[in-house]
Structure 1
C-alpha cells in the first residue's frame, strides 16, 4: 500500500470524474449496469434469511478469530450485523472487535475507522487483518496498542459495506454506528455499559465525523463520550468546482471511487453508461481490486481516457449525491464533544468547508476543540494530531469536562 495515498486524494479526483462524465437521461447508448464485487467466498459474510426482520445493529452471527500478532494479548471477535444502505435497503455488514486481556466489563470502547482504498471484498479491514502483508494496520498499530494496553476494547468496522461502496461517506457513518450497536449486543464482549469513543483520519475521518453527526437521530441510545476526526473532506461539491482535469498518478483510485459511488447510487450516478471501451476495460479490471492493483491499472490516465465526453455536466441528481455525502450541508449537530484537527494548509481538502461546519456546530452549542497543525502535507497532520486526539479521548473517558475553543 502506498503511504502517500489517502482517500482524501481520491475523493478530490473522483469528483472531477463525476463532473465530466455526462449524466443526461436522453442518451442513445445502451444502459450498462454497475459492476459489483464478487461475493466473498466465506459464507460468514453472506446475507441471512432473517436480515429483513432484524433491526439495525442486530447481531446475525458471531465467531472467534485467530489471535493477531500485531495486537499481542488480545482476542479477536468478528460480528455480522444488520445495517442499511443509502437506498434504505437492509444489508449484512461486518466488524471486528479486539478485546485486551485486561478488559473488564463496561471498560472503554474505541471505534477506529481505517482508510480503506478498494473495491473488492478482500480489501475490508476484517480481511486485511489476516493477510500475509496487513499494511492497512501497520501505521495504526502503535496507537491502537496504546489504548488496548489501557484495557480499552477496539472495534474495527468494515465501513464500506458488503458491496465495497468506496467513496460513499454517509454510508460509512451509518455502518460505524450499527457496528457499535452490534458490539454492545454481544454479551460475552462485556460492552453493553461501555463508554464509547470514535477516531479516524481522512477517509476514516469521514466515516467518523458522519457517525458523530448522524448519531443524535440515528443512534441516540449509544453512550458516546467523545469523537476525534482529522483531515475530513466536508464539501464534495467544492472539490468538484476547484479541480482541473490533468492526468494524475492516483487516477486509478479516483476511478475506483466513482465505481463505488455508482454501486451505492446506481440510478442517480450511472457512471458505467458513459464509459468508453477503454473505461469499461479498466472498470472490469479493478472491480475486485485493492490499492496497488487499482493504482497500476489507472497510472497515467485521466478522465478523458475513460469517458465518452469531456463536457461538464452539473446535473441536479449528481450534485445532490455529492451534497448528501458532504457534512457541510447536513443539518444535524453532534451532541457528543468533538476533537477536530487538520493541517494549517491542506491542498487536498477544502478547508473553508471544515471551518464553516465547525462554526455551525459551535453556534448550535456543540463542544468542539478545533486544532490546526503546521504540517507540510495532509498525511503529516495525521501523525501530528493523533497523540493529542488520543489524549483528548482518554480525558473524555475519565469524565473530565470537554474543553472548547469555539
Structure 2
C-alpha cells in the first residue's frame, strides 16, 4: 500500500509542474474547444432544472449506498449545489460515511483524496466502494476514531483537475450538505479538514476561503501535507521537463482549461499531436493517463511562444495558488512536509506558513527529516489525525510560529 501511495502522490506533484505550463499556451493556431468528459451515465449526477435557485450547500438529491470496504459505517451520497469559477451554478457530489450507531452532532472530517483524473468515472464517489481509491485505509482509520467522514468529488462535475480554488469551494459546500442531510445526524457538529498533495490543495483552499465563504461552519482544525501552494513557482522551476509523469501534468492542463475555457485556451497552442493526445486523455483515469503521456514534454506537443509568460495564463495560475490568496485561515492548522521533497518546493510552503503566522493564525509546521514527497504522506498522516483528535477534544492548538 505504501509503495502505491508513493508512486501516485509523487506523480501528482510532478504533474502540477507541467500542468500550469500547458494551461497558459498562447494562441497561434485556430481555436480548439476544451475537451470535456463524457456525461455520467448515472442520472443521480444530473443537475436539476432549479439548481440556480438553490443556496450553496443545499441538498439536491441523496441516496443510501452500501458501504463496501467500510464495515463499521453507513454511507450516503449527496448531490448538492455549488458554484464554479465563472459563477455558474453546478451540482456536485460528496460521499458521507458515518459509524453505525453514532450519536448526533459527532465530529466530521472532510477528507480530500489526491484525485488526478479526467474521466467522471474516476471520481471518489465512483471509486470509493469498488476498491479504486488508494486512501481507503486512511478513511477507515478516521472512522475507527468514531468520526464521520465526507469524501467530496472535489474536481467537480467536469473533472477540472488542477482547479484548486474550485476544489476549496466544493469542500465547504460538501460539508454544508453533509450536515444538512437529516439522515447523517451530523447537524452543526465540529468539522476537520484533511488531505495530502492534490488533496491538500483543496484542503488549504477550503481553510483559506472558510472565514468569508462559510463562516457558519465550525471548522476546528485542518491538516495538510505536501501542499503545492504556488502553481506558478512549480511551472517556472520545473515546467516542460520530459517526465514519466507528464501525462498527469497534461491532464491537469486539460482540467484547468475546462474550468477557464476563455482564459487558458490549451487547444490554441497545441499542434496536431497535442490535440490528439488531449482528446485521447479526456476520459481517462490515473494509470491510463500516466501510460499515455510517459516520457513526453510540451515541446513536442506545442507550437508558438513561451508558455510561461502569457498574462492570461499567469492570472489563472495565480488565481489557483493559495500562497497568493490574501485571505488567511482562521482555523488552527497542522502542516507537514518532507525535507527531501524535490517536487513540491518547501520554500513557498514556509513562506505561506510565515504569512499565516504574521496575521495571527495558529500553525504547527512539521518538517519530516529525509522524507520525499511520497514517504511524507505515510509518515505524517498519523500525527495529522492525532492533531485533529486534539482539536475535537477541545485541547488548545499548538503553534510553532
Alignment correspondent of 1:159:
154
Q: 1:94/1:244 Cα in 2 relative to 1: closer, same or farther (>3 Å)?
A: closer
Q: Within the alignment, does 1:141 sit opposite 2:136 as a pair?
A: yes
Q: Aligned equivalents of 1:264 and 1:33: distance in 2?
A: 12
Q: Within the alignment, does 1:80 sit opposite 2:85 as a pair?
A: no
- C-alpha root-mean-square deviation of aligned residues, in Å? 1.4
Residue aligned with 2:86, SS: coil
- Taking the TM superposition and a 5 Å limit, the aligned residue runs for 1:191-230 are 191-230=186-225
Q: Where do 5+ consecutive residues of structure 2 fail to align?
A: none
Quote how far apart the aligned CAs of 1:18 are: 3.9
Q: Which runs of 4+ in 1 moved over 4 A?
A: none
Among 261, 266, 275, the alignment partner of 1:266 is 261
The answer as to whether partners of 1:12 and 1:349 remain within 8 angstroms in 2 is: no
Quote how far apart the aligned CAs of 1:300 are: 2.0
Q: Within the alignment, does 1:16 sit opposite 2:13 as a pair?
A: no
Alignment correspondent of 2:287:
292
Q: Aligned equivalents of 2:268 and 2:220: distance in 1?
A: 45
The answer as to whether partners of 2:23 and 2:257 remain within 8 angstroms in 1 is: no
Among 357, 371, 385, the alignment partner of 1:362 is 357
Q: Within the alignment, does 1:5 sit opposite 2:2 as a pair?
A: no
Q: Aligned equivalents of 1:244 and 1:78: distance in 2?
A: 38
Q: Aligned equivalents of 2:237 and 2:112: distance in 1?
A: 27
Quote how far apart the aligned CAs of 1:244 are: 5.1
Q: Within the alignment, does 1:240 sit opposite 2:235 as a pair?
A: yes
- Count of equivalent residues: 396
Alignment correspondent of 1:52:
52
Q: Within the alignment, does 1:32 sit opposite 2:32 as a pair?
A: yes
Quote how far apart the aligned CAs of 1:62 are: 0.4
Q: Aligned equivalents of 1:67 and 1:155: distance in 2?
A: 13
Residue aligned with 1:99, SS: strand
Quote how far apart the aligned CAs of 1:376 are: 3.4
Q: Aligned equivalents of 2:142 and 2:200: distance in 1?
A: 18
Residue aligned with 1:317, SS: helix
Alignment correspondent of 1:109:
108
Quote how far apart the aligned CAs of 1:77 are: 0.2
The answer as to whether partners of 1:101 and 1:151 remain within 8 angstroms in 2 is: no
Residue aligned with 2:391, SS: helix
The answer as to whether partners of 2:143 and 2:149 remain within 8 angstroms in 1 is: yes
The answer as to whether partners of 1:75 and 1:99 remain within 8 angstroms in 2 is: yes
Among 300, 323, 331, the alignment partner of 2:318 is 323
Alignment correspondent of 1:381:
376
TM-score when scaled to structure 2?
0.96
The answer as to whether partners of 2:165 and 2:205 remain within 8 angstroms in 1 is: yes
Q: Within the alignment, does 1:124 sit opposite 2:123 as a pair?
A: yes
Quote how far apart the aligned CAs of 1:147 are: 2.4
Among 303, 308, 329, the alignment partner of 1:308 is 303
Q: Aligned equivalents of 1:300 and 1:383: distance in 2?
A: 27
Quote how far apart the aligned CAs of 1:338 are: 0.5
Quote how far apart the aligned CAs of 1:310 are: 5.9
Q: Where do 5+ consecutive residues of structure 1 fail to align?
A: none
- Taking the TM superposition and a 5 Å limit, the aligned residue runs for 1:174-193 are 174-193=169-188
Residue aligned with 2:267, SS: helix
Alignment correspondent of 1:65:
65
Q: Within the alignment, does 1:350 sit opposite 2:341 as a pair?
A: no
Q: Aligned equivalents of 1:317 and 1:310: distance in 2?
A: 14
